[in-house]
Amino acid sequence: MDGAALARKVRAAVAGEVAELGHVGLATVLVGEDPASQVYIGLKHKAATEAGFEPTDHRLPASTSQSELLRLVEELNGDEGVDGLLVQLPLPDHIDEGVVLRAIEPVKDVDGVHPMNAGFLALGTPTIVPATPRGCIALLDEYGVELEGARTVVIGRSNIVGKPVAQLLVQRNATVTICHSRTRDLAAHLREADVVVAAVGRPRLVKAEMVKPGAAVIDVGVNRTDDGLVGDVDPGVAEVAGLLSPVPGGVGPMTIAMLLQNTVEAARLRRNGGYPGSTP
């Protein structure tokens, strides 16, 4: 599954919407010097600029206090020029991630991490959905993978990938099993699955012999190893699977494209007065 190609299509469509809206502001906040986070923020800015957004890049030292960070979030919440606001994770240990994410104005929460957006997704009425899970579903749709009634296994139960992916799959009428670090016999679950989403962070955890022939396999993992960047899925799975999203070039580019899509949708939502029937 070519995530880079689909991402190009999504980004071109987003650029058209930005041109129509006139101004779309995306503000990013990065605390500290985590090298991977710096790369992700750089990629997001490049893509946002190419799509015609007006991105603003807030970089704070690792020593920033929680209250200083909260002040910046409040300022960006109130900034009319900012349609989307994302705080890059992970945050330094002395900052309570939950407190910061809850401080983001829900209608600007383009990472879909505020409990209000997570709650809407859990209720089956999604508002702003986290970009990576959205990218996984978009890839499956692009390649015509039937989700209704399909047996799907999501490996990983994080709030940013595993749980929202599972919820999106349920919403599409798939039968969903969530596997995690305490799952007994992962291979037995995987062998039954028509669709696998691996979001673990363990290099090449999923091997060919665990996968049902013809299955669609989405590899979300990003693992830096001595062999370079590898996913959670062993490349040998390509011999067995019907479809496989590669690392790099699969979910990664889709995450960025979906962040831009979320930002445009957040801009429209806010301009239309926010969530219908609620008071964010």
State yes or no: residue 174 binds ligand NAD (CB under 6 A): no
* Alpha-carbon span 138 to 226, nearest angstrom: 31
Q: Judged by CB under 6 A, which of 18, 104, 155, 218 binds ligand NAD?
A: 155
Residue 111 designated active-site: yes
Q: Judged by CB under 6 A, does residue 262 bind ligand NAD?
A: no
Which one of 111, 194, 232, 234 is the catalytic residue?
111
Tell me, yes or no, if 38 is annotated catalytic: no
Beta carbons within 8 Å of 230's beta carbon, 6+ residues apart: 203, 204, 221, 223, 247
Taking the complex as a whole, the smallest distance from the CB of residue 167 to ligand NAD amounts, in Å, to 14
The answer to whether the CB of 25 falls within 8 A of the CB of 84 is: yes
Q: How far apart are CA 60 and CA 55, in angstroms?
A: 16
Token reading at 171: 């919403």
Amino acid in the structure at residue 111: D
Active site residue 88: yes
Nearer to ligand NAD, 25 or 135 (CB): 135
Looking up tokens 């699977």 gives 241
- Candidates 97-105, 178-186, 236-244, 268-276 — which segment interacts with ligand NAD by CB under 6 A? 178-186
Which residues from 190-229 bind ligand NAD, rule CB under 6 A?
Answer: 199-202, 205, 220-223
Of the pair 25, 162, the CB lying nearest ligand NAD is at 162
Q: What is the nearest approach in angstroms of ligand NAD to the Cβ of residue 187?
A: 10
- Does residue number 157 form part of the binding site for ligand NAD (CB under 6 A)? yes
183 binds ligand NAD per the rule CB under 6 A: yes
Return the closest-CA partner of residue 149 out of 191, 83, 108, 193: 193
* DSSP H helices in 51-195: 66-77, 97-103, 115-122, 131-142, 162-171, 186-190
Under rule CB under 6 A, residue 160 binds ligand NAD: yes
**Does residue 270 touch ligand NAD according to CB under 6 A?**
no
| Run of H or E including 198 | strand 195-198
| CA nearest to 136, candidates 115, 160, 120, 114 | 160
**139 is a contact residue toward ligand NAD (CB under 6 A):** no
Residues with catalytic roles:
44, 88, 111
Which residues here bind ligand NAD, judged by CB under 6 A? 132, 155-158, 160-162, 179-181, 183, 186, 199-202, 205, 220-223, 251-252, 255
